[in-house]
Structure 1
Amino acid sequence: MSIVEFFTDLFNPDLAFLAKALAIAVMASIVCGVIGCYVVLRGMAFIGDAVAHAVFPGLAVAFVISGNLIVGGTVAGVITAILVAAFSQNRRLKEDSIIGIFFVAAFALGIVIISRAPGYAGSLQQFLFGSITGIPDSDLVVVALMGLVVLGIAFGLHKEFVAVTLDREMARALGLRVFWLDLTLYVLVTLAVVISVQTIGNILVLALLITPAATARLLTDRLGVMMTLAPVVGALGAFVGLYVSWTWDTPTGGTIVLVLTAVFLLAWLFAPRHGLMPRRWHRHSNRSDVLDGAATDVAPR
């Protein structure tokens, strides 16, 4: 299918679900791109994965009672984030241990809850791998509003988040409430994950949060540029992934993740300053300059 034919389908009223799928994917990519920058810079990838597990029981409960999945996932994720932040104050256990206990337990609870619902297998597959073409109209509004809230809070606390990211002890010395900033960031990650679950599923959602931000990290040393590039990479990856999925009839969530991964690999190889190939070329060039200089010094006069 050509790109022109894809755009024709995109604006076809009989295929309205395709436009909704693209809108949800792009909105989720923008939110995850911004929040993912903090996650990547702080080395919190494990937390992103854990939050994806934490929202699962809320999704399961909402599904069983025919409630709103986004609201259910948000409530479960926020409750779990608060529990982790509270239990982490006991320094006998490290934060990653507490995260591992509570978030995996939450995921297990979700499995048990949804197993009690009719159509268990199909429902489980929908949650784990996404159902981007079956998103109701009401969720478009909810995702848009939640996205604006998440971005507003992130930009409002940007300086504080950066201070905690760079040096937690210095942030405490400056009078910043590190605990509450950590908790706020956990909640923002939770909301970003919930927004994205329907796009690519509970299992793959970490890719939307981490991969665009990691790609942007390879392309620039400036945080402002990184936080601009990451949403752009995510949104373009979502568009291309949806196009490839629609053309070749492949799973949408998995295709988006593979497209984003391909972009990351290209950046890893060819990024101007931090890519593998430019670094090797630079080392080779320096070595050649040294050898040429040595040859000049020992040449007869």
Structure 2
Amino acid sequence: MLNAFAISALVAVPTALLSCYLVLKGWALMGDAVSHAVLPGIVLAYVFGFPLVVGAFAAGMFTAIATGYLAENSRVKQDTVMGVVFSGMFGLGIVIYVAIAPSIHLDHILFGNMLGVQLADLQLSGAISIIVSILLLAFWKDLMLFTFDPGQARASGLPVGLLHYGLLTILSLTIVATLTATGLILAVGLLIAPGAIAFLIVRSFGRMLAVAVLVCLVAMLGGTYLSFFLDSSPAATIILLLIVIFIGAFLYRTTQNRRAVQTQG
């Protein structure tokens, strides 16, 4: 449980910060695509004796770059390309997994194994989380402009291409960091829900980052704690808690909007 609490706190910060950019950029499906598509990389890394995180990162980068290339060089819209790429990669991963029957359990890859976290997992997730958090906070103004208006960012002299692929690299690294904690499928919840909740509550980007981190920390630690008493999966409990908070934030914003309309009327 102590290791589960520790890795919850470690991955909460980078996933919350990144979720703000993904939500505002309209890249929510990109997080879903990359999180599903790393499966073949994990299985192939196991086959060739490489660390699983290396395979996951390589597959995530391949998916992100392939999606961007296909979207820019075809008439197909980006969301359609993402659906094709991630479903194809996920299907490939399942086929390879069944063919070689590795000793690693598929449930642990898909849904995580927070109660089985080891010291090496904490060290790896911690290192990635620190690097990702520093990068997102150090370049938050440039990334904010790129997120809101890529055209203005290009006119201002910012390296838009570098920011684009840099954000995709950070996304792949973050998914690798959450691999042990929540697994592939539930990682997408951490990459969307905190930013969406903060977007409903506040109106400035700086506050959005802070609120997203706070919400994610509460959900990660609270979900892990509740799962012990509910005898449920920690990762699934965390995601459900995030959904409950999102519903509360939605009701709060709806109430505030109604009051504003009544005041103006």
| SS across alignment from 1:250 | coil
Partner residue, 1:25? 8
Name which of structure 1's ranges 222-231 and 277-286 shifts more when overlaid on structure 2. 277-286
- For structure 1, list consecutive stretches of 5 or more residues without a partner in the other structure: 1-17, 288-301
Answer yes or no: is 1:279 the counterpart of 2:261: no
State TM-score, norm by structure 1. Answer: 0.81
Q: Which residue of the other structure, out of 58, 65, 69, is the alignment partner of 1:86? A: 69
Shift of 1:132: 1.0
Contact 2:37/2:89, CA 8 A, preserved across alignment = yes
Q: Which residue of the other structure, out of 85, 96, 101, is the alignment partner of 1:113? A: 96
Contact 2:114/2:180, CA 8 A, preserved across alignment = yes
Distance of 2:108 and 2:130 partners within structure 1: 26
Shift of 1:51: 0.9
Q: Percent identity?
A: 33
Answer yes or no: is 1:188 the counterpart of 2:170: yes
Distance of 1:45 and 1:245 partners within structure 2: 27
Contact 2:30/2:64, CA 8 A, preserved across alignment = no
Partner residue, 2:160? 178
Distance of 1:42 and 1:239 partners within structure 2: 28
Partner residue, 2:133? 151
Letter matched to residue 145 of structure 1: A
Change (3 A) 1:281 1:93: closer
Name which of structure 1's ranges 95-104 and 259-268 shifts more when overlaid on structure 2. 95-104
Change (3 A) 1:96 1:178: farther
Distance of 2:80 and 2:244 partners within structure 1: 32
Letter matched to residue 268 of structure 1: F
| SS across alignment from 2:192 | helix
Name which of structure 1's ranges 93-102 and 204-213 shifts more when overlaid on structure 2. 93-102
- For structure 2, list consecutive stretches of 5 or more residues without a partner in the other structure: none
Distance of 1:60 and 1:135 partners within structure 2: 19
Letter matched to residue 280 of structure 1: R
Contact 1:54/1:106, CA 8 A, preserved across alignment = yes
Which structure has the greater CA radius of gyration? 1
Change (3 A) 1:223 1:67: same
Name which of structure 1's ranges 101-110 and 44-53 shifts more when overlaid on structure 2. 101-110
Distance of 2:116 and 2:46 partners within structure 1: 14
Once superposed, what is the RMSD of the aligned Cα atoms?
A: 2.0
Residues 154-233 of structure 1: matches in 2 within 5 Å?
Answer: 154-233=136-215
Distance of 1:46 and 1:111 partners within structure 2: 20
Letter matched to residue 56 of structure 1: L
Distance of 2:45 and 2:229 partners within structure 1: 33
Distance of 2:116 and 2:47 partners within structure 1: 17
Q: Which residue of the other structure, out of 87, 90, 93, is the alignment partner of 1:104? A: 87
Distance of 2:130 and 2:108 partners within structure 1: 26
Higher relative contact order (CA 8 A, sep 6+): 2
| SS across alignment from 2:72 | coil
Residues 248-263 of structure 1: matches in 2 within 5 Å?
Answer: 248-263=230-245
Distance of 1:20 and 1:88 partners within structure 2: 41
Partner residue, 2:112? 130
Partner residue, 2:247? 265
Distance of 1:253 and 1:162 partners within structure 2: 29
Contact 2:128/2:173, CA 8 A, preserved across alignment = yes
Shift of 1:178: 2.0
